[in-house]
């Protein structure tokens, strides 16, 4: 799940949980009728707002003796598409108060999507009340990190004042990154972008495990997911620090996912530097992978002689060479003709080497003559051997 989708999902669930909390201000006793019957009626309502409004009072007053019947009503809806993520979140919020571990066991046989949603909701609610127990349970789950993120999110929502210092003591890892993201989302919800940047900037420079540097990177990437221009402005403020180049790249690869032309133009117009060139290449590489035709069309005809575009020329030429699988020889020749116009001699040779490797695999005879003519035989062989080594290493990796 991407950061954007993850934050949006957590936001929707937060609204559901907030609605659930309002239930305590309603009638002191639950609504009339058996809880399972009220829930059955609510889940049959096609209006999601009315459904949630009906569920909140009865779920707020559930006790353990009633959970089984209510769970059965939920399960009866799976054949028709399920109760929906908000209804699952509301049930899990109630269940997390009563018996979170039992709830995780009893929902483990639910359909995949419902099971995952329930697990994350339960862990989040559990961690708000007992983060150590929730963490211990989640540590035994082997998934893509969503279970631990749910625990960290619940922990952040508990407003535990020790969380920032505890997370700072964690060793650098994806777990620490998830915990940092959860804390920062909490700050964003309350204080906005400026509050988050102020918070990470105020962290002690001598904190453990390089936490301040990592936190600044995480905060910048998180803001870039929603407001890349604001994140870029902050990265520019940090340009003279050791973090400057890293922040530029982190913003660039997120911005290019939202508005590729704007992101690329911002990078192209910057003064050349190692950090800028790296960010420029990484952003363009990602755009090529996602929208190959659009990325190629963006490159101006003047690029080979415009030094602002020099870092991208080999990426573009390779993209052209691989852009017509039905006529690979023609595509490679077009790429070569384009690359021949490159004003920078070193970049031209680098591009020729990459094109030579590609052409050699498609038309060995024609490619060999051209490679020899340009005096790049040894370089092409070396690059081809490197590609082969990388491919063998990748092929030996286990599935998944």
Q: What does pLDDT average to in each consecutive run of 10 residues of the chain (400 residues)?
A: 47 48 41 84 94 95 95 96 95 97 97 96 97 95 92 96 96 95 96 96 94 96 96 94 92 97 97 94 97 97 96 97 94 97 97 96 94 95 87 63
Q: How far apart are CA 228 and CA 320, in angstroms?
A: 29
| pLDDT (0 to 100) of residue 399 | 52
Asked, for residue 318, whether it belongs to a domain, the answer is yes
Q: What is the DSSP letter of 80?
A: G
Asked, for residue 83, whether it belongs to a domain, the answer is yes
Asked, for residue 375, whether it belongs to a domain, the answer is yes
Please say which residue of 128, 153, 172 terminates a domain: 128
The single residue listed with the structure tokens 């009906």 is 54
| pLDDT (0 to 100) of residue 389 | 83
Asked, for residue 398, whether it belongs to a domain, the answer is yes
pTM metric for this prediction: 0.79
Q: Number of folded domains in the chain? A: 2
The single residue listed with the structure tokens 């590489």 is 285
Asked, for residue 68, whether it belongs to a domain, the answer is yes
Residue-wise burial string across 379-389, b where 16 or more C-beta atoms lie within 10 A, e elsewhere: bbeebbeeeee
Asked, for residue 176, whether it belongs to a domain, the answer is no
Question: CA quadruple 244, 250, 253, 254: dihedral positive or negative?
Answer: negative
Asked, for residue 289, whether it belongs to a domain, the answer is no
Domain extent for 383: 299-400
Torsion angles phi and psi, residue 224, rounded to 5: -60, -25
| pLDDT (0 to 100) of residue 32 | 57
Please say which residue of 112, 128, 144 terminates a domain: 128
| pLDDT (0 to 100) of residue 391 | 79
The answer to whether residues 282 and 253 touch, using CB atoms and an 8 Å cutoff, is yes
Identify the H or E element spanning 231.
Answer: helix 228-237
Asked, for residue 268, whether it belongs to a domain, the answer is no
Please say which residue of 128, 156, 184 terminates a domain: 128
């Amino acid at each position: 799940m991407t950061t954007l989708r993850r934050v949006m999902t957590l936001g929707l669930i937060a609204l559901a949980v907030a609605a659930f909390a309002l239930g305590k201000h309603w009638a002191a006793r639950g609504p009339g009728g058996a809880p399972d019957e009220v829930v059955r009626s609510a889940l049959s309502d096609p209006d999601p707002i009315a459904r949630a409004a009906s569920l909140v009072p009865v779920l707020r007053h559930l006790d353990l003796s009633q959970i089984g019947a209510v769970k059965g009503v939920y399960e009866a809806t799976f054949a028709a598409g399920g109760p929906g993520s908000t209804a699952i979140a509301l049930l899990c919020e109630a269940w997390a108060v009563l018996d979170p571990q039992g709830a995780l066991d009893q929902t483990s046989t639910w359909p995949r999507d419902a099971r995952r949603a329930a697990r994350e909701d339960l862990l989040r609610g559990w961690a708000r009340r007992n983060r150590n127990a929730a963490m211990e349970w989640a540590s035994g789950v082997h998934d893509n990190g969503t279970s631990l993120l749910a625990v960290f999110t619940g922990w952040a929502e508990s407003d535990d004042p020790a969380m920032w210092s505890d997370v700072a003591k964690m060793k650098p890892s994806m777990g620490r990154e998830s915990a940092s993201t959860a804390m920062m989302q909490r700050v964003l919800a309350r204080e906005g972008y400026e509050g988050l940047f102020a918070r990470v900037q105020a962290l002690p420079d001598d904190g453990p495990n390089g936490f301040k540097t990592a936190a600044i990177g995480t905060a910048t990437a998180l803001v870039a997911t929603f407001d890349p221009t604001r994140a870029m402005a902050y990265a520019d403020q940090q340009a003279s620090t050791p973090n400057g180049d890293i922040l530029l790249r982190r913003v660039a690869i997120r911005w290019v996912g939202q508005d590729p032309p704007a992101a690329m133009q911002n990078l192209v117009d910057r003064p050349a530097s190692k950090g800028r060139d790296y960010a420029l290449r990484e952003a363009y590489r990602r755009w090529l992978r996602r929208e190959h035709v659009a990325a190629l069309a963006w490159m101006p005809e003047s690029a080979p002689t415009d030094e602002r575009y020099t870092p991208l020329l080999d990426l573009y030429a390779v993209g052209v060479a691989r852009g017509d699988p039905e006529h690979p020889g023609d595509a490679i020749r077009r790429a070569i003709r384009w690359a021949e116009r490159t004003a920078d001699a070193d970049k031209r040779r680098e591009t020729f080497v990459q094109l030579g490797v590609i052409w050699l695999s498609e038309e060995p005879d024609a490619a060999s003559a051209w490679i020899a003519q340009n005096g790049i035989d040894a370089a092409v062989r070396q690059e081809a051997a490197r590609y082969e080594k990388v491919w063998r290493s990748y092929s030996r990796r286990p599935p998944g």
